[in-house]
Amino acid sequence: MTQSSQSQPFLRIPALHNGRGSMAAFLALLLGLFAGHSPALQAQNGFPPSLMSYQGFLVDANGAGLAPNNPQNFSVVFRIYAVSTAGTPLWTEAQTVTIDKGNFSVVLGEGGLEGSEVRPDLATVFNSDKASDMYLGITVKGVSNSEILPRLRLLTSPYAFLARTANGLAGSDGAALINSSEGRLRIGQALQSTGGNNRGANAVDLQVARVTTSPSQVASGATSVISGGQNNTASGELSVIAGGSGSTASGRGSAVGGGENNTASGLFATVRVAETTSPAAKIPFPSGAEPGRCMPEASSLVTTPMSTRTPAATTSSSSRRRAAWASIQPRPPEQRSPLPVG
């Protein structure tokens, strides 16, 4: 640094010694929590404060600490850049800093504006793809109106490395909740809303509400799914409720497509109704019902055995129609006996 008739300050830490002599270090940034500072008053929330501690030692070009005899206030401007030289500051703040024998300590984020320069929330400055290379510039007004060089690169504190797991959204146990790879967002654990009894293993429960006195209205079956609605219960293994309200899927592999107060209790039983509030619309399938044997019609809620249905009238494409009809049946009609209607 070139001397002039007016001494110019620079940050310095004590000399470091090795076997070949001493090595001067001119910049120091100590980040962490320091006592003696009261954060600016703001509404309490669940996020870390948008503040950052900074301590340094300010000396003139002769190496003498500023304010050598008594504490003295200086107007200091702090700027954060994404580059080590030149560039436009991402964040600027002006503070009145008390210096005592060269030492000072401030909390960045507690100061005010510097002219028309930008001063966004400090936390947002580090939430970008340039966060790995941030530099702090300091200007002490009245002593030097130029920025002290070189700028100091901002580094993390040891336990801040834990924050990196947020890039993969990991839980407190370290298990990955959400991560991305090959351009895909991958969910590592089952999605579940809050409240109610415990869910089944690998169950997904996204319904928004349940009756306070009925905590069992959840996806309690293993690998069961409730994709929406409220007050629904999916207690059967592999059971599914798509939405609606007050429905129950208790049979293994059973499903309710929606509506209100519907019940699918048989093995692989399916209720495809869109909406109904009639008690008669509850369709408890026989416990021994076989997959594909019957399904209720959405329009009339009448259960019709598949074996009594007839294909569409024969046309020039009748062979294709018969092939398509046969493809959805679990086995040929002649090998099955119809289930009772009702």
3 state DSSP class of 206: coil
Please say whether the beta carbons of 276 and 262 come within 8 A: yes
The 8-class DSSP code of residue 110 comes to: S
**What is the rounded average pLDDT of the residues 144-161?**
87
Give the pLDDT score at 61: 80
Please say whether the beta carbons of 262 and 247 come within 8 A: yes
pLDDT band at 52 (very low <50, low <70, confident <90, very high): very high
List beta partners, residue 95: 76
**What is the rounded average pLDDT of the residues 106-134?**
92
pLDDT band at 212 (very low <50, low <70, confident <90, very high): confident
Please say whether the beta carbons of 15 and 25 come within 8 A: yes
Q: Is the pLDDT of residue 235 over 60?
A: yes
> Rounded to an integer, what distance in angstroms lies between the CA atom of residue 295 and that of residue 298?
9
Choose the weakest-confidence range: 70-74, 124-128, 241-245. Answer: 124-128
The model's pTM is: 0.48
pLDDT band at 245 (very low <50, low <70, confident <90, very high): very high
The 8-class DSSP code of residue 142 comes to: T
Please say whether the beta carbons of 292 and 330 come within 8 A: yes
Residues with Cβ < 8 Å from 172, sequence gap 6 or more? none
Neighbours of 28 (CB within 10 A): 14
**What is the rounded average pLDDT of the residues 124-128?**
86
Interval 277-311: pLDDT, tens: 444 444 444 444 444 444 443 333 333 343 434 44
pLDDT band at 45 (very low <50, low <70, confident <90, very high): confident
Give the pLDDT score at 234: 95
Which of 291-319 are b and which e, b meaning 16 or more Cβ less than 10 Å from the residue's Cβ?
A: eebbbbeeeebebebbbeeeeeeeeeeee
> Rounded to an integer, what distance in angstroms lies between the CA atom of residue 66 and that of residue 99?
7
Interval 171-210: pLDDT, tens: 666 677 777 777 777 777 788 888 888 899 999 999 878 8
Give the pLDDT score at 18: 38
CA 232 to chain centre: 27
Give the pLDDT score at 175: 72
Q: Is the pLDDT of residue 12 over 50?
A: no
Please say whether the beta carbons of 105 and 54 come within 8 A: yes
Please say whether the beta carbons of 309 and 329 come within 8 A: no
Residues with Cβ < 8 Å from 65, sequence gap 6 or more? 57, 58, 59, 99, 101, 102, 103
Q: Is the pLDDT of residue 326 over 70?
A: no
Closest CA to 135 of 66, 81, 88, 55: 81
R_g over Cα of the chain: 35
Most confident of 3-12, 24-33, 150-159, 286-295: 150-159
Q: Which is more confidently placed, 179 or 228?
A: 228
Please provide residue 54's backbone torsions phi and psi, each rounded to the nearest 5 degrees: -145, 130
List beta partners, residue 22: 17
Among all chains, which residue has been given the structure tokens 């007839």?
310
> CA torsion 92→96→102→108, rounded to 10°?
-40
Interval 60-117: pLDDT, tens: 888 899 999 999 999 999 999 999 999 999 999 999 999 999 999 999 999 999 999 9
Q: Is the pLDDT of residue 138 over 50?
A: yes
**What is the rounded average pLDDT of the residues 126-155?**
90
Q: What DSSP assignment string belongs to 218-257?
A: S--STT-EE-S-BS-EE-STT-EE-S-BS-EE-STT-EE-
Closest CA to 114 of 135, 131, 87, 139: 139
> Rounded to an integer, what distance in angstroms lies between the CA atom of residue 4 and that of residue 20?
31
Interval 250-284: pLDDT, tens: 999 999 999 999 999 999 999 986 544 444 444 44
